[in-house]
Structure 1
């Protein structure tokens, strides 16, 4: 069941990160989910390091760090994806 939640959280965070980033990202949905999952793990790691991973009530700080991690991973991952695929560059006339 934990893998199902990881996929759902990855999907949600990845889609929110794509909505926050300017322009259109060219990564496919499956990669958005993976990048969202990675961002979530990085956010949890940062929250643990800052000592805010477990609080009473809603863990807003942890959730914001997870979203920030997803935004960073999606932004970097999109640039790498476009670079590997060779698409999205400008062509000289």
Structure 2
């Protein structure tokens, strides 16, 4: 899957991750979008390497993997930046 698709998935997945994990993040929506993009890439890697899920194109399973990675990365980010 191309990097542009992961960026689009990341934008959407970041917004969904923010909706699932509401709260104040340093940087607001900008940080959430960046976490969404990186999380979707992380989810794609985890899905393909560990779970054997083939991430191919703009489909429902790829979208779920991107959301899962974004939620995971957002949770890790909040644990690291928690005061």
Distance, in Å, in 2 between the alignment partners of 1:42 and 1:77 is 13
TM-score by length of 2: 0.70
Larger radius of gyration: 1
The 8 Å contact of residues 25 and 78 in structure 1, kept in 2 or not, is answered as no
Q: Which one scores higher on RCO, CA 8 angstroms, separation ≥ 6?
A: 2
Alignment gaps of 5+ in structure 2: none
1:53 aligns with 2:51: no
Give aligned pairs, total: 80
TM-score by length of 1: 0.64
Aligned match of 1:24: 23
**Displacement of 1:47 after TM fit?**
1.8
Alignment gaps of 5+ in structure 1: 84-93
